[in-house]
């Protein structure tokens, strides 16, 4: 059962985002990016107050995703990408992104904190960061 509301167009949009941000990290990396996106819709906290849909989350500015802001959000969603997007929309979570609201690709080791949020781990090229349960209880 879906943990956020969505349409077919939303599935494709999330799938495009996941592909643009983490295709090089494989399917698991893409699923983790999807976790972050779904958490931003669920959370309604911190930088994501008022973000209530996949479309709002994908195109949030400022504070959104680099792929949509720097021009590499152009590839169409493939069937396999949409299948991955449906998995995270349906509530599957993948550590270290399970409760994450942020990720980035540092040139070296992951900082222990990023914008006052604690590092929950690294997967391949991306470091993931989550708020505390007190700050954003809906992502836990």
Q: Which parts of 72-122 fold into alpha helices (H)?
A: 79-89
Name the nearest CA neighbour of 136 among 54, 58, 56, 47. Answer: 47
Per-residue DSSP letter, 62:
S
Residue 104: its H or E element: strand 102-104
Name the nearest CA neighbour of 124 among 32, 44, 34, 29. Answer: 29
Q: pLDDT, tens digit, for every residue of 76-132?
A: 999 999 999 999 999 999 999 999 999 999 999 999 999 899 999 999 999 999 999
- Going from the N-terminus, what domains does the chain have, and what CATH number goes with each? 8-99 (1.10.10.2520)
Tokens describing residue 58: 């994908």
Residue 70 has pLDDT above 90, yes or no: no
């Amino acid at each position: 059962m879906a943990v956020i509301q969505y349409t077919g167009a939303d599935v494709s949009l999330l799938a495009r985002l996941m592909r643009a941000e983490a295709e090089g990290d494989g399917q698991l990396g893409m699923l983790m990016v999807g976790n972050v996106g779904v958490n931003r819709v669920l959370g309604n906290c911190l930088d994501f107050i008022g973000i209530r849909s996949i479309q709002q989350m994908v195109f949030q500015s400022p504070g959104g995703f680099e792929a949509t802001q720097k021009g590499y959000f152009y590839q169409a969603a493939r069937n396999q990408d949409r299948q991955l997007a449906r998995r995270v929309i349906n509530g599957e979570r993948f550590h270290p992104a399970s409760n994450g609201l942020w990720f980035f690709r540092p040139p070296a080791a992951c900082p222990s904190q990023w914008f006052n949020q604690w590092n929950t781990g690294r997967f391949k090229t991306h470091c993931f960061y989550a708020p505390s349960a007190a700050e954003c209880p809906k992502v836990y």
